[in-house]
Amino acid sequence: GENVEQHPSTLSVQEGDSAVIKCTYSDSASNYFPWYKQELGKGPQLIIDIRSNVGEKKDQRIAVTLNKTAKHFSLHITETQPEDSAVYFCAARWLMEYGNKLVFGAGTILRVKS
Amino acid sequence: DTEVTQTPKHLVMGMTNKKSLKCEQHMGHRAMYWYKQKAKKPPELMFVYSYEKLSINESVPSRFSPECPNSSLLNLHLHALQPEDSALYLCASSQDRASNQPQHFGDGTRLSIL
């Protein structure tokens, strides 16, 4: 089945610096890769996603890159702010025989120090 | 604010109680999901409904019983739960089950089993 590995598990950055979180996936048939941000007491919030026909996508301070050959994708946050502090999950859509499901990475705790 | 609404936000119940979790969305989505999330872990898929029909059951114990009364509502009926079932229960929805459709999560119900 699909396996998604996410690194690092924790990341501390100074306000204004960039943060990068990396994920690798195992099933080359996976074709959709969302990123979620989860704040304390809240559900996961979709912040950006990328489909396998695209190599990079950007939305203001957030960007995602996808390398299909290497089967890895990364989240880049520039000019980090304290409100970016949260748990971030990557995911890959796994195409199964009887449907499809999101397989999540283990999560990254991002702390932005002011 | 999330467009997927879950009630109640918190629930404490004994092992012999029967209770229900509710989820509602008004985005016209035809796929709805239940996830379970333990502390410091990613969400784990439990059930998928597509066009009000159960399409995926991830081998969930029968003490959890899902129901989809209409395209906007999703319930999770709970009976004879165990202490290890204490977790955050998340509902999500997507336009349909196509592999590249984003899922949007509610803020969850935090369930504690005494």
Judged by a CB distance cut-off of 8 A, whether residue B66 touches chain A is: no
pLDDT in tens, B54-82: 999 999 999 999 999 999 999 999 999 99
pLDDT at A40: 95
Q: Which sign, positive or negative, has the C-alpha torsion B34, B37, B42, B45? A: negative
User: Mean pLDDT in chain A?
Assistant: 95
pLDDT given at position B1: 54
Residue B88's Cβ-side half-sphere holds a number of Cα atoms within 13 Å equal to 20
Rounded mean pLDDT of A46-73?
95
For chain A, give the percent of residues with pLDDT over 70.
100
Q: Does residue B78 contact residue B66 with C-beta atoms inside 8 Å?
A: no
Cβ proximity of A49 and A32 under 8 Å: yes
Nearest to A43 among B2, B55, B56 (CB): B2
CA angle A109, A111, A113 (to 5 degrees): 175
CB–CB of B108 and A104 under 8 A? no
Say if CB B90 and CB B34 are below 8 A apart: yes
Find the CB nearest B102 among A34, A43, A101.
A34
If you ran DSSP here, which 8-state letter would residue B101 be given? Answer: P
Average pLDDT over residues B30-39: 96
Q: In the 8-state DSSP scheme, what is residue B16?
A: T
Give the mean model confidence (pLDDT) for residues A73-78. Answer: 98
Overall average pLDDT of the A52-65 stretch: 95
- The per-residue pLDDT of chain B, averaged, comes to 94
